[in-house]
Each structure stands twice: as structure tokens, then as C-alpha cells.
Structure 1
Amino acid sequence: MSVRSAVAMGCAGSTPKVDENSKKLKKPKAWKHTQPITPAQLKQMRDEFWDTAPHYGGQKEIWDALKVAAESDLALAQTIVDSAGIIVSNPDMTLCYDERGAKYELPKYVLSEPTNLIRQG
């Protein structure tokens, strides 16, 4: 019975941790690009990242979910992350894992705009 209790306690103890991680999405902190960039340049950087991201490992479906979450408001992003079973290690989504333990690192430029974005007209 002590083994069963230990297993039950382990499961009970680990479940809230996953739930806790998935419930703390926050807006990324302000950041500055090395040089001022235009919205078109930012879009190009983002497109290049998302085009190559699946080649870094992990599941394409998780990368797709992260992309949609990154482009959504926090409430929708939270729903997407929870539905896909993504474990958020950093509240700004810069470091996530899937249920199999694969690591997904997102650069800040796919999550928010830099403080030195050149706004035209």
C-alpha cells in the first residue's frame, strides 16, 4: 500500500504543476532590436522563423499551435496552449515544452513588437 500511496501522491503532486504552468501566460517584456526596424522587416523575420521552426525538432502541430498563440491576444493564446497540451516554462512563451518533453524556444520578435519599431506615416 505504501507504493500505491507514493504513486498516487506523485501523480497528484505533478498534475497541479502542469496546470499551474499552463495558466500563467503574460505579455512579453519590452525589448529593443539591435537597430530600428520597419514592420515589413519584422514580418520577414517572423516569417523566416516560422518557416524554419519545425526543423529544430518537436512536432509540427505544436509549432503551428504556438504560431497561432503568438499571433493572438493573451486569452485566446491561453486557450490554444491549454488545448494543445503545451507546457509553458516562461510566462511570455519564450520557452515551452510539449507533453513528450520536446523543447520549443520562441524569440521575442515573434511574440511582440520591439520598442524601436519604425512606424511610418
Structure 2
Amino acid sequence: MGCIKSSQAKQDGESTRRGGRRIRKPKPWNHTEPITRTQLDQMREEFWDTAPYYGGSREIWDALRAAAEADDLRHARAIIDGAGIIVESADLTTCYDERGAKYELPNYVLSEPANLIRES
């Protein structure tokens, strides 16, 4: 008799090893006030520039950035697996490296807000 988690993982076609959790896009979200693409890009760049100073490995932060910016979820999953990142939340907002360091990603680096203003 297996545990529920491993049974579900097998049904989903995912591996049952650590970090084998399926990843998905984050749920829709809204910024506190409408923002432009330029403002969003600036917020993202600022986050990625400062994230390594909060702990963890620079290589893992770089892999998380590449996964967050990947064109599709399969590519993101390959990056996550290759870096040995353990996915705690399927939307990548909480991950760990193999040494147990925690990495938290804000929604704004993972997806666009619903109230993004399109610049003309």
C-alpha cells in the first residue's frame, strides 16, 4: 500500500522522486494599482538583482529565473530538474535546493498581472 501522494503522482505521469511535482502557471493576480509593462519589467529586474543577497545559491537563483522566463512549462520543468530544485508549491512560489535553502518567488516574476496596462 502506497501513500496517497505517490499514487497521485503516478496517475499524473510524474516521477515520485523529490522535486518531481508537476508545475503550473500561477493563479491570476492583480497589482495594487494598474502598472505598465515597463514598470513590471523594472520590478522583475530589481527582484532578480537582489534575490541572491537574501540567501541561497546564485546558481539556483539563476535557474529559477530561467524557469520563470521559460516559454513553456516543459522547458521550465527541465530547468528545475537539471538544477536539482525541489518544488514545494506547483506555481514555483516556494522552492528549495538540495541543501534545504528556501527560495520564495513573488507572483510578479512568474506571470503578468490582470491589471497590466498595455503601452501604445
The alignment's TM-score, normalised by the length of structure 2, stands at 0.84
Tell me the distance in 2 between the aligned counterparts of 1:74 and 1:31. 19
Which 4+ residue blocks in structure 1 deviate beyond 3 angstroms? Answer: none
List per-residue Cα deviations over 1:44-94 (Å, max 9, x = no partner). Answer: 000000000000100000000000000012111000000100000000000
Matched AA of 1:16: T
Shift of 1:100: 0.3
1:78 lines up with 2:77 in the alignment: yes
1:16 partnered with 2:29: no
Greater C-alpha radius of gyration:
1
Kept in 2, the 8 Å contact 1:33–1:114? The answer is: yes
Give the residue type in structure 1 aligned to 2:104.
E
Q: Percent of aligned positions with the same letter in both sequences? A: 64
User: Which structure carries more helix by proportion?
Assistant: 1
Give the TM-score normalised by the residue count of structure 1: 0.83
Asked if structure 2 preserves the Cα contact closer than 8 Å seen for 1:22 and 1:86, the reply is: no
What RMSD in Å do the two structures reach over aligned CA positions? 1.3
Q: Distance in 1 between matches of 2:53 and 2:119?
A: 34
